[in-house]
Structure 1
């Protein structure tokens, strides 16, 4: 893994560092039904971590600037999410993981520009691309351990090791990738200290500070009354998933009382996991994952229940 100094230096190279497709294809890399990532990544409860995933990504200035410069986040926030998520899901769950991994990588070939200090960025610079991947690894670890069931240390190690295969499928240099789970935790903590109040993340979390905007047809005073319980629930459930560093840069209030409420909600979700696990696979998993389990002819519900 690169040191902090190496990260600061290398991310400013702003050059794509890709791996030859033939070299990747020859390895026959893929995740499968025996992996913990298959079991947990596509679980529908992962939607509870959408703000943690998208938010932590965009608290790093270079990535947030790339989103601002090259996407439609400010005009079509939900549309961007719908377009970005499925190709990454298919890299894990399709029967053509290399094809989809290369496609995700190639989406980013022309995403480059400059940040506030005048230095350049490139989405396929390994330090920046790995950070984006790391937020997905964190999502699997955090959401599973918080809302599904507690993971053992060995399972966390396994998920991290599987995430290295996942990253290889994209075909971007792994020079900045931590090599052990312990290194990943150190890397993650160091990245949290780099968080900044970027324009992208300030915009994306506006609904958590100002409340969810109401429908155009409803009078504003009525919506303020009707939305009070909704905004209170979102505050606990969504802000509760965010790292403290992100709450700080996004100016999101959080108290010890809020934390206790979040902990009770998370504990309730883990307790009802046996009941949720009885749902039809098409309800328990997002479509791309449900289709993959059906293709394999495997019922994932009895697997890896701890």
Structure 2
């Protein structure tokens, strides 16, 4: 029997940061980036309920990823389940080439977006990371990726190689795929009315909600994403966003005093109960 790959634990920086609720302030950065890879965007377009049940789809996707990170002895089993969800996601690109969700390059890109979003969220809303910490988190991400049981041939060897990979992907590979454009449509057109909410009530409450959604969504994106997706973002917007981020960082001293249910997502809290808090 093949031995399961190593899992992450409370000694990892990934456990400390990935399930921190402040990561939610980043908005849909990872999901939109994923869908800007042509093969991945096409797979979602062809096979997912993303267009009809956008927020439900995002919720269903996030839970298994968190369970892979925080699953402890069950992480490899959960990771393989996540992988197997994607076995039948395959088809033909508009140019006639074939795609498959389990192609190592495609699967690693999806993983890389979660890693990069955690790094961005930590540095933006919590604290700067040293180069040593970034290298450590990248090494932990390699452990995390191997839990899926997908070939790691596309995984950069070290942090420096990952930085070069990331720069190449943003500058030369990602595109404004239809799926990505749809995923940020509410940032310019407004949030869809929830089911059973009267139209008159929604017209009253939606303007401030739309403003916040736009601010979090567009503000949390890499400038290259905004450029490709044609999302307006002014210098004044950026100044407001940086003031907002600085305000969140100033809460760091008070943050440990808040209930754990406020500070961490349920999967992280369950892992802490089983294994102890991150050190």
TM-score category of the 2 structures, normalised to the smaller one:
over 0.9
TM-score by length of 1: 0.85
Aligned residue in 2 for 1:189? 167
Task: Please say if residues 202 and 250 of structure 1, whose CA atoms lie closer than 8 Å, have aligned partners that are also in contact.
Answer: yes
Residue 101 (structure 1) aligned to one of 79, 102, 107: 79
Measured in 1, the distance between the counterparts of 2:80 and 2:167 equals: 29
Measured in 1, the distance between the counterparts of 2:262 and 2:191 equals: 26
SS of residue in 2 equivalent to 1:113: strand
Give the superposition deviation at 1:24: 5.0
Residue 112 (structure 2) aligned to one of 108, 111, 134: 134
TM-score by length of 2: 0.93
Task: Please say if residues 26 and 216 of structure 2, whose CA atoms lie closer than 8 Å, have aligned partners that are also in contact.
Answer: no
Task: Please say if residues 24 and 169 of structure 1, whose CA atoms lie closer than 8 Å, have aligned partners that are also in contact.
Answer: no
Residue 212 (structure 2) aligned to one of 223, 233, 237: 233
Measured in 1, the distance between the counterparts of 2:235 and 2:160 equals: 28
Measured in 2, the distance between the counterparts of 1:92 and 1:275 equals: 26
Measured in 1, the distance between the counterparts of 2:211 and 2:88 equals: 40
Matched, 1:273 2:258: no
Measured in 2, the distance between the counterparts of 1:272 and 1:264 equals: 13
Matched, 1:57 2:30: no
Give the superposition deviation at 1:233: 2.7
Measured in 2, the distance between the counterparts of 1:169 and 1:50 equals: 25
Aligned residue in 1 for 2:126? 148
Structural mapping, 1:237-248, within 5 Å: 237-248=216-227
The CA deviation string for residues 100-133 of structure 1, in whole angstroms up to 9 with x for no partner, is: 0111111111111111211111111110000000
Residue 257 (structure 1) aligned to one of 226, 232, 236: 236
Aligned residue in 2 for 1:203? 182
Measured in 2, the distance between the counterparts of 1:227 and 1:107 equals: 35
Consecutive unaligned residues in structure 2, runs of 5 or more: none
Measured in 2, the distance between the counterparts of 1:284 and 1:119 equals: 45
Matched, 1:180 2:158: yes
The CA deviation string for residues 76-107 of structure 1, in whole angstroms up to 9 with x for no partner, is: 11111121111111111113011001111111
Matched, 1:34 2:22: no
SS of residue in 1 equivalent to 2:99: strand
SS of residue in 1 equivalent to 2:28: helix
Residue 57 (structure 2) aligned to one of 80, 83, 106: 80
Task: Please say if residues 60 and 196 of structure 1, whose CA atoms lie closer than 8 Å, have aligned partners that are also in contact.
Answer: yes
Task: Please say if residues 27 and 216 of structure 2, whose CA atoms lie closer than 8 Å, have aligned partners that are also in contact.
Answer: no
Number of matched residues?
275
4+ runs deviating over 4 angstroms: none
Give the superposition deviation at 1:227: 3.3
The CA deviation string for residues 272-296 of structure 1, in whole angstroms up to 9 with x for no partner, is: 1221222222221110110000111
Residue 289 (structure 1) aligned to one of 263, 268, 271: 268
The CA deviation string for residues 262-281 of structure 1, in whole angstroms up to 9 with x for no partner, is: 11111111111221222222
Task: Please say if residues 19 and 265 of structure 2, whose CA atoms lie closer than 8 Å, have aligned partners that are also in contact.
Answer: yes
Measured in 1, the distance between the counterparts of 2:225 and 2:263 equals: 29
Task: Please say if residues 144 and 150 of structure 1, whose CA atoms lie closer than 8 Å, have aligned partners that are also in contact.
Answer: yes
Task: Please say if residues 105 and 172 of structure 1, whose CA atoms lie closer than 8 Å, have aligned partners that are also in contact.
Answer: yes
Aligned residue in 1 for 2:139? 161
Residue 199 (structure 2) aligned to one of 196, 218, 225: 218
RMSD: 1.7
Task: Please say if residues 236 and 261 of structure 1, whose CA atoms lie closer than 8 Å, have aligned partners that are also in contact.
Answer: no
Measured in 2, the distance between the counterparts of 1:82 and 1:219 equals: 28
